[in-house]
Amino acid sequence: MSYNNLIVELDDNIAVVVINRPKKLNALNTATIKELHLAFKSLEKNKKVRVIILTGAGEKAFVAGADISEFSHFNTKQGGQLAAQGQELLFDFIENLDKPVIAAVNGFALGGGLELAMSCHFRIASHNARMGLPEVSLGVIPGYGGTQRLPQLIGKGRAMEMIMTGGMIDVERAIEFGLVNHIASSEELIDFCKEIAKKIAKNSPKAVSQAIKAINAGFKNEVDGFEVEIEAFGQCFGTDDFKEGTSAFLEKRKASFPGS
């Protein structure tokens, strides 16, 4: 599948999705959101792919925000639809994908860019990364899940300050807050992500998928995360991955999982 705003590369069982709008600092527009949805949907179905890395083209920006020119004239109804459609198509879709998605944050991750990074399962950032939700300076609030995911990741007070001031934080502060897991140089960022992805890819893809489901459930008010964990745990017992993993352990050899 070819894309106008993305580059998708496959390296064995790891996929790298690159948002390729460097002249616009990889800003998210409607077309790019749709293409990202299609790319992730395709990769989710690809049994060879076990981990996905998401990044932006160039070293200046992961995603510097949304394309403001697309919605500056919107009314109340259109604004609500923009947020609802974006969350369903991309942000919630990535968060609930049954394959791990690592955000490789290279440079600015602002507004919708930080919201996109937060929808990924975890984040690794380059030394020059800068993150923030500046929407209040435009007279709006984060609409792609930022008011929900940021407090979950860094705590209510810190999220309140970041969102209400609209300010940016550097990568050292992001590490301190728990917003990113690791820091790497710009040159080594993707390779660093791939090393972690390889560790994940060695494990049971079906178990990893169930772990994502169970962990996400703990952050949903209407769901009992413990009940979801119990169900997911039980589901694992019916898979070929479980048979292979336990057999390999008992036979003192490395497991070779057949795929998702």
Instruction: Give the DSSP per-residue string, 72-135.
Output: TT--HHHHHHHHHHHIIIIIHHHHT-SS-EEEEE-SEEETHHHHHHHHSSEEEEETT-EEE--G
Burial environment of residue 34 by CB neighbours within 10 A (0 to 12, 13 to 18, 19 or more) = middle
- From the list 29, 25, 95, 31, the residue with the least C-alpha distance to 60 is 25
Q: Which residue in the block uniquely carries the two structure tokens 């994908």?
A: 97
- Within 10 angstroms of residue 141's Cβ, the number of other Cβ atoms is 13
Of residues 115, 187, 229, 244, which has the active-site annotation? 115
The Cα-based distances of 91 to 27, 34, 84, 115, 163 in angstroms read 15, 11, 10, 8, 18
| Distance, CA of 111 to CA of 95 (rounded, Å) | 17
Name residues whose C-beta falls within 8 Å of residue 132's C-beta, 6 or more positions apart in sequence.
Answer: 109, 110, 111, 114, 162, 166, 167, 168, 169
Of residues 9, 88, 135, 227, which has the active-site annotation? 135
| Distance, CA of 43 to CA of 50 (rounded, Å) | 9
Q: Is 135 annotated as catalytic? A: yes
Q: Is 229 annotated as catalytic? A: no
Residues marked active site are found at 115, 135
